[in-house]
Amino acid sequence: MAPRRSVLTLIAAYLGLFIGLVDANAVNLALPAIGERLGGGVTGAQWTIDAYNVTFAALLLTSGSLGDRFSRRRVLRIGLVAFAAASAACALAPSLTWLLVARATQGLGAAMMLPQGLAIAAAAFPDPRGRARATAAWAMAAAGSTALGPLLGGALAETVGWRWIFWVNVPVCILASAASATHLPDSRDPDAARLDLPGQCLAILTLGATTLVLVEGHDWRWQQTTLVSATAVAAFVTFLATQRRSPHPMLPLDLFGSRQLVGALVATFTMTFGIYGLLLVNSFAFQQLRGASALTTAVWFLPMAVVYLVVIPVANMLARRSGPRLPMAVGLVLMAAGSLLYAAAGPHAAIGWLELSFVLAGIGLALTTGPAVTLAMAAIPVRRAGMAAGVVNLSRLLGITVGVAVLGSAMSIAGGSAGVRAALLLGGLCHVVGALLALRLTRTPAPAPTIGKESCHA
């Protein structure tokens, strides 16, 4: 493929990913402003994030399979239309309930468009070198959205209002749809399985019930908590049973026979668990405890995004030269160091200490993101690219959903500075556990001992 054409293909493939992640990062900075206008407090903020992520995560694998079965480009374009319409509905929201329904619909659109971009790119660049470049471009798109999202969210919330965070999505989605029509080759998997509707329904029930109990459970009576928790567990066990028996499972469990893939997914889950929890916690810590504006908060948070952009090409180069295992684990350790430093210093500490924690987190995020995706995509055959992209993104979204729910609830229960410290401590510990598990799971087994001739003739 010619260089100019390959660049246009990657831009068209990842523009949907870019705007989806920009929106997710921008909304974090606007949560206090949204709460002031629509109410809901910390719990409302958690649902503003997780209403999007629950539908996104629950529908992601089915959307990836739809693209594999019918047309990845077509599903991508339908997702862009749904995301644009839902963004307009978010911008017009007169109440928190309206906003949450619209955010859930945004999650549907995002679930349809995000896995298709990575799958189309993987199919368009089938050779290992081309796939590595496509994966690096994916990581750069994610990096750019991480850098731009908070700054855009803070600037818009501070100037023209938080509703414009959603309005700006509409023209970008129109542009992405036009670019996909002219610059994206269509692809599909001729052997793709039929849709697994029972599995899809059970996945929605599992994620919805789990998020509900994590976000709301601390305010319930124990009977309510027990009932909803039991529902989540029963739905998950039934989901696993149906996936084992189904001839066309939504989530083929044989994928998890690869220790390399499982290690990459553990790293991705723990990465987003901590980093998106940090974004939520920091937004409230700076704006409510320190009295900073949304724009000031975004500017103070910018060093993390800048070092992420600078380091991620280096991280991808290291992964290509020495393998993704070590950079991925070191990245999680640095993210843990950033969260634990912030927790030790506290939200009222001198800004220099907090900036250092952001820089450590940004370097760690860069070292983890690209290598984890590279490892996961390499563990699955090209013909299952849609499923591979779906599983990678699913682990990201589960980390975000659970991280926002758990760390937001920890912050709400303890309250004030103690709540911020507790949430950051939990996030840091999760990164440490993720690093240890990823190292263990991705370890190359020792070669079998060679049997000498004497042994053969014994």
The winner for highest mean pLDDT among 5-9, 190-194, 404-408 is 404-408
Q: Give me the mean pLDDT over the 222-231 stretch.
A: 89
Closest by Cα among 302, 323, 303, 22 to 153? 22
Q: Look at the alpha carbons of 296, 299, 304, 309 in this order and tell me if their dihedral is positive or negative.
A: positive
Averaged pLDDT of the chain? 83
Question: Largest Cα–Cα distance in the chain?
Answer: 84
| Count of alpha carbons within 13 angstroms of residue 229, beta-carbon side | 12
For the chain, the structural domain boundaries read: 3-195+250-442, 196-249
Predicted confidence (pLDDT) at residue 369 exceeds the cutoff of 90: no
Q: Give me the mean pLDDT over the 132-157 stretch.
A: 78
Cβ atoms of residues 209 and 71 within 8 Å: no
Task: State pLDDT tens for residues 233-276.
Answer: 999 999 999 988 888 787 878 778 778 888 889 999 999 998 88
Question: Any alpha helices (H) in 285-324, and if so which ranges?
Answer: 294-322
Q: 184-219: string of b/e by CB count within 10 Å (b at 16+)?
A: beebbbeebbeebeebbebbbbbbbbbbbbbbbbee
Predicted confidence (pLDDT) at residue 456 exceeds the cutoff of 60: no
According to DSSP, residue 218 is labeled: G
Percent of the chain with pLDDT over 70: 91
Residue 292 CA to residue 347 CA, distance in Å, equals 12
Would you list the DSSP string of 368-432? HHHHHHHHHHHTS-GGGHHHHHHHHHHHHHHHHHHHHHHHHHHHHHH-HHHHHHHHHHHHHHHHH
- 130-139, 311-320, 330-339, 381-390: range with lowest mean pLDDT: 381-390
- 281-290, 314-323, 433-442: range with lowest mean pLDDT: 314-323
CATH fold of 3-195+250-442 reads Growth Hormone; Chain: A; (1.20.1250)
Cβ atoms of residues 367 and 327 within 8 Å: yes
Closest by Cα among 93, 54, 424 to 274? 424
pTM metric for this prediction: 0.81
